[in-house]
Chains A and B, each alone.
Chain A
């Protein structure tokens, strides 16, 4: 007898529908799985057999063929166990479930028949809704994230043994409580108040956060660059519910949703030895990289000059486009990666800075080191902040403004930007045409034109200064970019922006 069930395989961070077809007929006892299964799928054979027997079902001693359609799609992961078991029960007459064709199932089985959570349950529930399914059956551990998806029934089961009750309508479980999406950072997380003194660094952080501008901090080791970067998520506006769902979808597909979504915006700080594939995603099957994990949050590259050049080069296009395209022989995937780039670097290999007489770096080494700075990602950096060792008085002084106060101002500036540019957009994303259309006071225009004419600014740097000045004006609540704001924006520019 033939039975089918619907399930999904995870591809990048999206789920692709897979039809499980099970045929049970007379013949020598045999049990095969066909349809491009990977090792984990092939091992479902043994898990499903043991789970069936241990739940009190009978494993049919006949010829069993499990086909996973479409046959051309490579299937990966253990998430198909539940669907294979359901189809097998149905094909062997142990489960009468006429609604099975309108139900999707996903879940891994333990040998005793209990369900184990799978990666990407959120994406699978969404795909099930798109595919017109009535209900998706998920392991108990995935119920909460599945319930985030509106417009589809979600059933969380603890064990394979519950299936007959569910099919017969004897058991009608309530919809699980959806996973709480915490839009704001939890109380007690690192606060900007820890950054004492260093007014310029604080200001640069605030401006960068207000306009979504990328930030490069240059200064000696231990001056507070990493501390400042880790406080950045706390001054960014809280996640919008739609954004939080995007973050949850990525976390779910990467198996990071175990104990619930970390509150607030993501903050990723990969080590500088990371490969290009680790940074933007890749491998076979393609997996999301740090850039995607930082989606809607902050990607912090500490020791920018130590990163591999190819890794930084690979980051350029995704930074511009807000998404990563990974093309492989098996197809092309697009992963979202709209993050704020923050980088930190020492001024020279020894870290003291070449104007310090104690710096022992050879000129060639310094040049090579700074060449890395101005090469790789420099033309994607909007704000340069020179960080200095805080004085003893500052370090021992009163704590600075807290994150909440700064966040209020940042949110105000973002609101103004959204009113001007449309929902969800910020100044850093302005096109050159939009940037040049910004209202500019006469003095500010003169200032900018003077610099441009003396060839200290390229066209690109000109537009960048406009975007930055617009953000500073938004922070000040000004409709028009004034001279003061333009001067500040020009101070924050990179000088090697040729």
Chain B
């Protein structure tokens, strides 16, 4: 495989965007923030004229003066690589977007981009402030999609993003994190260890040069890359006015598939995906739903080996499914002693039916008991 390559003009575009960071921030904050992808359709000169009319000549001059050697040296110093829209490594899927980044600056394994087709990747987005349910579903989706050979794309943010990356890493699968800052800047800082793991086995990409700091407008901007990279965008949890919905809008504009994970209608955290479902998005209950929607029903089956359960364990599992999330609640609901309930919960956790938070709250994984899995009706083939 050839090394990723980028021409100087495309690289300069990245450096120009970094230089325009604070200027664009001024004109694209608030409601307009979501318009930053539109701004990025403009050519260099137009963009500078719109964003920084007074400093236009100065900014353009400074960027034009950047030599290719200088930019390459900066990339190497930050252990980054770059591929521009003229390079064969540049993902085809991005060509669909009118505002596609001129160059992708990356860190980690550039081979993840090699031959990346829209139907080979799924973008998982969602709220930073996610519930235990959302985290669990995101992780499970990441894990199973990655295990099925799909590249999991997300944005390294708190909550859903981080969980879907972690799920993919759990399955030793491929994952791409798209950042709204330089790829060498772990943002948010507390996801540094996750960022490091993705750099080791996956790829971190951005349209901004190494060292670029994040601005409010760079997040909607990176969302357009996430939306374009994958054949389907899945929202796990999001409030009604959420950045995640910007991604789905952008994905819908590109004609990509949309999926949403249903949640309780009373939960604010699930208002976004429930709204999308009402508007006709694909229902995503598990990774199989994603594969069926993106590739066609039955094209690829996900293997889910699930061990059989004792009646006692089934009773405890049923209690957790109906809302008992602590050992106390399970003991009360099932009438078992605290000791027996604790032992049953522990077994179910070891069998991966349940997951437990750091603080001892249990939630259901998406793993189905064998008996229940067999009774799922075959998927209905939509008329097309």
Contact = CB atoms under 8 A, between A and B. Distances in A.
B84 interface: no
B268 A357 contact: yes
Given A218-B359, A354-B129, A374-B358, A200 B188 contact: no
Contacts of A492: 342
B358 A198 contact: no
Nearest to A450: B350
B345 A491 contact: yes
Contacts of B343: 484-485, 487-488, 491
B311 to A, nearest CB: 16
Interface stretch (B115-123, B138-146, B223-231, B324-332): B324-332
Interface residues of B, number: 40
Interface stretch (A292-300, A312-320, A362-370): A362-370
A279 interface: no
Contacts of B128: 363
B213 to A, nearest CB: 17
A246 B39 CA distance: 76
B57 interface: no
B299 interface: no
A199 interface: yes
A384 B362 CA distance: 13
B359 A199 contact: no
Task: Count chain B CB atoms within 10 A of each CB in A204, A363, A391, A484 and give the residue with the most.
Answer: A363
Nearest to B363: A355
A367 B130 CA distance: 13
B131 interface: yes
Interface stretch (B74-82, B89-97, B333-341): B333-341
Interface in A360-396: 362-364, 367, 370, 373-374, 384-388, 391, 394
Task: Count chain B CB atoms within 10 A of each CB in A384, A388, A496 and give the residue with the most.
Answer: A388
B360 interface: yes
A355 B363 CA distance: 10
B167 to A, nearest CB: 15
Contacts of B338: 199-200, 202-204
B346 A491 contact: yes
A6 interface: no
Interface string A487-498: 110111011100
A364 B341 contact: no
Interface string B361-376: 1010000000000000
Interface in B290-334: 325-329, 331-332
Given A355-B131, A495-B356, A391 B347 contact: no
Task: Count chain B CB atoms within 10 A of each CB in A202, A354, A364 and give the residue with the most.
Answer: A354
Nearest to B343: A487
B357 interface: yes
B332 A218 contact: no
Contact of A370 (B325, B339, B359): B359
Contact of A490 (B269, B327, B350, B359): B350
B329 A388 contact: yes
A451 interface: yes
B327 A367 contact: no
Contacts of A488: 339, 342-343, 346
A218 B356 CA distance: 14
Contacts of B329: 388
B328 A451 contact: no
Given A386-B327, A388-B329, A487-B342, A363 B129 contact: yes
Given A357-B268, A386-B360, A203 B339 contact: yes
B58 interface: no
Contact of A200 (B267, B331, B349): B331
A353 interface: yes
Contacts of B356: 495
Interface in A456-498: 472, 484-485, 487-488, 490-492, 494-496
Given A367-B190, A388-B326, A487-B343, A357 B267 contact: yes
Contacts of A357: 131, 266-269
A363 B128 CA distance: 7
B158 A367 contact: yes
Interface string B241-283: 0000000000000000000000000111100000000000000
Contacts of A200: 326-328, 331, 338, 341-342
15 contacts: A199-B332, A199-B338, A201-B328, A218-B359, A218-B360, A347-B359, A347-B361, A354-B129, A355-B133, A355-B361, A357-B269, A363-B158, A373-B358, A488-B342, A495-B356
Given A363-B129, A364-B190, A484-B339, 8 more contacts: A354-B131, A355-B361, A367-B158, A387-B326, A388-B326, A485-B343, A491-B342, A491-B346
- Leading 5 A-B pairs by shortest Cβ distance: A386-B360, A203-B338, A199-B338, A491-B346, A487-B343
